[in-house]
Every structure is written in structure tokens, then in C-alpha cells.
Structure 1
Amino acid sequence: MIKHLLWLGGFLTMLFGCTNEATKLDNPARGTITVAADESFRPLVTQLTSAYAGIYPDAHFKIVFRPEQEAINMMLRDSARIAFTTRTLKPNERGVLNQLKIKGSTTKIATDGVALIINRANTDSLMTMNELQRLFLGQIKDWSQLKGGNQSSPITLVFDNNNSSNLASILTKFNISDVSKLRIFTTRSNREVIDFVRKNPSALGFIGVNWISDGDEPLTAELSRDLRVVGVSDKPNPTQRSDYYQPFQEDLGMLRYPLRRPVYVLSREAHPGLGGGLINYVARDAGSLIIYKLGLWPTIPYNREINLKKS
């Protein structure tokens, strides 16, 4: 009899223990997860998670902004549930999840761009992709070497971090692996890049376009003050200003801006949880309106129904 009672007690403990563990799992409407993101996406990720938490008050996000590779590594080692990046997983990174038997997911949510910014005192606001490539090859070093250059001073390339997605996007675009001989200055954030360029007329800054593309955000107006956004052309010999494009919404969506890039959300989630809820909201729901408001191009536009009535 005692044996049966002990067995029953153990079974109930195991049963209720499993139930308690199950209840600890987050779901799309409640819970707490860590989100990792490249720092160039700070405005985007901040607004998306804040909007989602406004709908579901029991949903909480711990956001960690890191250079892109660090953000991906956090997701791989389970320090973050999801990561906002500009690339998909490499085969060796995919292998980490495969070993853990985690399927994971990769969702493209938007088209973004790397914006080139200069001091307002610098009127060299047009550049070709050929010139930009030669700049990163070390063949162009001075503003006077650019077509129509109006100042003579060394060009300082300014990035937010040595491992940032902004730098990686440019190096990948031009298949460049060695930057040791280039005049590159790195800060600690996209905002610091903006501040540096604002104070240095010879600087050429590289930032995520969502930092300066939200027309309704007072911070955008403040950050854009005393700056010019460079127009870029992929034509070898452009003949008119309309051959150059800036990294703003229509030119991103119509694939005209040469330095555009995708925005992905990488997930290691193994159950229908808070990460999946956020991804669905961002990719297929009103979250795409926030992406649109930020001046990026959402992968899946938000469908708006308009009813027309005869009067």
C-alpha cells in the first residue's frame, strides 16, 4: 500500500511539474524574450517591439543592440530568441541549429539601405558606384578626385563599428576583404557617426537609413540637421542628376538605389511563442505600416480595404 502511495505521489509530482514547466513557456501574447539586433536597426526594432507590447501588455522584450555578427551569435547560443539582421545564416551557422535539432526560421521583412551622409558644408553630394568602389580599393583618397569635387581634403570613411552591418554590406557589395590601408574611423553607434559627420566636412558617413527616414519623428529632423544625403548612381557615366538615387522609400522599393539591402528576422524558436508572434505582426500585419512609416519598403504591404459607396 505504501509503495502504491509513493508511486502515486511521484507520478503527481511529475505531472504537476511538467504542467508548471509548460505554463512557463511564452506564447504570442505573453512572456519575456531577448531580441538581438544590429545597431543600425535601432529605430526600426524599437518602434516595432514597442507597438507590439502596446497591443499585448504582458509581452516584454529585452532588446540588445550589437554588431550584426554578435547579434547572430547571441541567437545561435540561445542568448537571444530572435535577431534582426541584413543576411541569412551561413552554412556553418545553420549547422549549429541543426545539431540542436532546431529548425528555426528566416523571414524577410523589409528592404533597407545604407545611407551615405556628408556635412552640409560639403556640396559633393553625388557619387557613382564606380567611384565608391575605387574609394574602398584605395584608388580614390581625396574629395578632389571625385567627378565635380569642390574641395581638396582626404576622405574619412566613418562607420559605427568594425563589425557592423553597414561596413559588411559595403565590403560584400564590392568583394573587398582588406581595409587596413583605408582611412576609416569607427564610432560606437549610428548616432555617433551622424555627430562626427556633422562636425567634420571631410567625412563620409555610412548609416542605416531608418535613422533619418521617419518624417513624422522629431528625432529624425534633429539628426538630419546640417547633413546632406549622397545620391548614388550605378551608371558608369551619369549625365544628369536624375541618374542618381537616394536611399528613400520609393527608390528602395523600385530597386533603384544601388546600396539597398534586405532586413531579416532570424529565429531559433521551437514552439509557438512570443518571437513568432512578433514576426507575424511585423511581416504580415500592421507592423508593415510601421516599416512603411519609417521610410523602408515592407516585404508584404499592409492591405487596406476601401469601401466606395454610390451617393
Structure 2
Amino acid sequence: KGAPLGTNVVAAKNSQGVLDYISENTDAIGLIGVNWIGDKEDTAQGRFLEKVKIASLECTGCQPIVYTQPFQYNIATRRYPMIRRLYYILKENYSGLGSGFADFLIYERGQLIFRRAYLWPAKMRLHVRDASLGE
């Protein structure tokens, strides 16, 4: 803590820069948001996934699975360990645009913004059902 970073540490300007650097340097590791690689229907994200590998991280509470990837289900159930919460701080002394937007984000329509970005909405209900695939 407080020590300078090593000479092998590189900063990118944005997530696109991280992906570009990782794809050009095979021994490099980078951190980006899951919304950059979560949408399988997005052709640009598909091209990213052809260039880089998504790391599986250890899940200490998952049995029999030992490693987990950043999928919405794993984020929602906290199996994936590298998550961050979103906090908003209002500095208004009245009910204005900021508090209205914060209220919007709390309810289902606002939470769908996060879901569509392949992030996990904090307040959405999660239903896990067993299913079997038959022929």
C-alpha cells in the first residue's frame, strides 16, 4: 500500500485500450467490466472474445465447481468474487433531477438498464429453476 507500481504495470486509457493491449501481449492480464464481453449477440464483443481469454476465478463457496466466470448468474449469487457495488451520492437539498434519477434506478425499469448492459441489477428478483433437457 502506497508503494510505487512495478515497471511491468501498464495503464490503458479505457476498456478498449485494455482489450487491445491484452490481445497484442499474450502474457498480459487486464481488468475490464463484464459489460464489455457479456453480450454474445454483439459482433464487436464477439471479436474481442476471439482475441482474448476470459479468466475463471476461484470460487471458494462453490461445490463441486471450483472456478467461475463473470456471468450474470455468478455475479448475482456472488460466486464470482470480483464485483463492485454502485453507490450514488445526492448533494441536493430538495427533490430534483438527481434524486429523481436515483429513484428511477431503484425501480424495475431503471434496473433493466443494468441488466441490458450484462451487469446484475441490485434489486431484481432472481429465480433459479432446475431444468432438464430431453430429446
TM-score using structure 1 length: 0.36
**Match of residue 3, structure 2, among 178, 181, 189:** 178
Distance 2:93 2:43 in 1: 39
- Higher gyration radius (CA): 1
Distance apart, 1:215 and its partner CA? 3.5
Return closer, same or farther for 1:201/1:214 CA change in 2, 3 Å cut-off: same
Distance apart, 1:181 and its partner CA? 3.2
RMSD: 2.3
- 1:287 and 2:110 correspond: yes
Return closer, same or farther for 1:200/1:262 CA change in 2, 3 Å cut-off: same
1:198/1:227 contact within 8 Å kept: yes
1:215/1:294 contact within 8 Å kept: no
Where do 1:146-161 residues align within 5 Å? none
- Structure 2 unaligned blocks of 5 or more: 126-135
1:247/1:260 contact within 8 Å kept: no
Q: Percent of aligned positions with the same letter in both sequences?
A: 27
Aligned residue pairs: how many?
123
Return closer, same or farther for 1:278/1:186 CA change in 2, 3 Å cut-off: same
Partner of 1:220: 45
Partner of 1:262: 85
Partner of 2:119: 296
Aligned residue type for 1:229: I
Distance apart, 1:207 and its partner CA? 1.1
Distance 1:273 1:215 in 2: 38
Distance apart, 1:261 and its partner CA? 1.7
Partner of 1:275: 98
Distance 2:74 2:41 in 1: 19
**Match of residue 204, structure 1, among 13, 23, 29:** 29
2:74/2:80 contact within 8 Å kept: yes
Match of 2:86, SS state, is strand
Greater mean deviation of Cα atoms: 192-201 or 206-215: 206-215
Distance 1:248 1:194 in 2: 18
- 1:190 and 2:3 correspond: no
Deviation track 1:155-178 (CA, whole Å, cap 9, x = no partner) reads xxxxxxxxxxxxxxxxxxxxx443
- Structure 1 unaligned blocks of 5 or more: 1-175, 303-311
Deviation track 1:18-68 (CA, whole Å, cap 9, x = no partner) reads xxxxxxxxxxxxxxxxxxxxxxxxxxxxxxxxxxxxxxxxxxxxxxxxxxx
Return closer, same or farther for 1:282/1:215 CA change in 2, 3 Å cut-off: farther
Larger % of helix: which?
1
Aligned residue type for 1:184: V
Aligned residue type for 1:181: G
Shift >4 Å, 4+ stretches:
none
Return closer, same or farther for 1:222/1:261 CA change in 2, 3 Å cut-off: same
Partner of 1:244: 67
